[in-house]
Structure 1
């Protein structure tokens, strides 16, 4: 199944298990997820929200929704690796334009 998610690995790390602690309560949460490699390098985001904001625990489709915010980079990396772009990772406006073009071509 991992071969179906190769496009995700252009932006995200592989799945890993992390422990996050709440400074106020001292509670430690153990979560399974992926790091967004681009968000981890965004110092402004990290300073404002903390490292946990760059850690995503969702499914492949949830990760692809986040990839929309890094679409230009995703497109370049998929092209470099010869991977096809997944439709869930396309920005909504681009996806709608492609669907409209497909409809017009079918008529």
Structure 2
């Protein structure tokens, strides 16, 4: 996943030193789309929020908060189901797995 993300954004983030948050799906979820690079690009861009969000930021958002992504016209909607934080209906299960800087 990290290698594919780097290919998608190579140069852009190094040039502009942009902070971002990536809501990365597990590799197993993407396995059936391995051959379609244009679809992979869209998938990755809809999982990137162009700012740095920590877990403490996410849990403080109100239910229904909408986050703009790097894919024009696509947003991520934060909701809660019992104690679970969800993004577009998908549970966030491994917050802050990787942090650089």
- Shorter-chain TM band: under 0.3
Higher relative contact order (CA 8 A, sep 6+): 1
TM-score by length of 2: 0.26
Hey, which of these two has a bigger chunk of strand by percent?
A: 2
Hey, which of these two has a bigger chunk of helix by percent?
A: 1
| Bigger CA radius of gyration | 1
